[in-house]
Amino acid sequence: MPRVSRAEAQQHRQEVIDHTARLIREKGADQVSVPRAMAAAGLTHGGFYRHFSSKDDLIVQALQAAFTERREAMDRLAEAAPADRSGRAEFLTRYLSELHRDNPAGGCAAAALAADAIRAEPGAPIRRAFTEGLSDLVDGFRQLDGDAADRSTAIAELSTLVGAILLARASDDPDLSREILTAARQHLDAAS
């Protein structure tokens, strides 16, 4: 079999990270195996160690990619919010939506992976990566309206967002789930 170029190898590595970022948000880090991650990217698991030192290495890089994806989306909203609403208002609407609730694989890493970080030992790579990503998310949330909101307010509001999406996802009652999203959005809208 012919060798792949360095560029192709880098592309394959990034594809594995991106697919794993989706998988860990959908299934949880403990439910993602090396063969499953590689297969999601269309590769065999035999080449895994050419790209990553361990499964933990892949999970941490996937977690970082998931947080980066959310932060970049926040930055785009801050720069190009619709004319009739602020970046913060647009973010709240998108975050507290049924679409986000129903699609954890493409959603917020903080909501999808908090339980994985909680179960990890203090100082574990996944917990450090989660903490760094969460801190960056707070900074991004503060910048949504371009005027760097107070950090403690941003933390409280982001906590409300993450908690609401977690509870809405966990609820087996569709009406209660929608009610949670609506109540959180109304509460946060009233706070601004």
Q: What is the pLDDT of residue 168?
A: 98
Q: Classify residue 172 by its DSSP letter.
A: S
How far apart, in whole angstroms, are the C-alpha atoms of residue 154 and residue 160? 10
CA–CA distances in Å: residue 98 to residues 35, 124, 180: 31, 33, 11
CB-CB contact of 94 with 101 (8 Å): no
36 burial level (CB within 10 Å; 0-12, 13-18, 19+):
middle
Closest by CA to 59, choosing from 102, 141, 137, 116, is: 116
What is the mean predicted confidence (pLDDT) over 166-170? Answer: 97
CB-CB contact of 113 with 133 (8 Å): no
Q: How many CB atoms lie within 10 A of CB 37?
A: 24
Q: Say if residue 114's pLDDT is above 90.
A: yes
User: Cα–chain-centroid distance for residue 144?
Assistant: 17
Closest by CA to 111, choosing from 96, 123, 89, 124, is: 96
For a pLDDT cut of 90, what percent of the chain falls above it? 66
Q: Which H or E run contains 81? A: none
pTM comes to 0.88
Q: What is the pLDDT of residues 146-162, one digit of tens each?
A: 666 788 999 999 999 99
67 burial level (CB within 10 Å; 0-12, 13-18, 19+):
buried
Q: Token match 């371009």: residue?
A: 146
Q: What is the pLDDT of residues 79-98, one digit of tens each?
A: 877 777 788 888 999 999 99
Q: What is the pLDDT of residues 60-69, one digit of tens each?
A: 999 999 999 9
Q: Say if residue 177's pLDDT is above 90.
A: yes
Q: What is the pLDDT of residue 135?
A: 96
Query: Where does the pLDDT of residue 119 fall: very low under 50, low under 70, confident under 90, or very high at 90 and above?
Result: very high
Q: What is the pLDDT of residue 1?
A: 46
Q: What are the structural domains, with CATH classification, of the chain?
A: 6-191 (1.10.357.10)
Put residue 34 in one of left, alpha, beta given phi > 0 → left and psi -120 to 50 → alpha: alpha
How far apart, in whole angstroms, are the C-alpha atoms of residue 94 and residue 96? 6
Q: Classify residue 4 by its DSSP letter.
A: P
Q: Which H or E run contains 39? A: helix 34-40
Higher-pLDDT residue of 133, 147: 133
Q: What is the pLDDT of residues 25-44, one digit of tens each?
A: 999 999 999 989 988 988 88
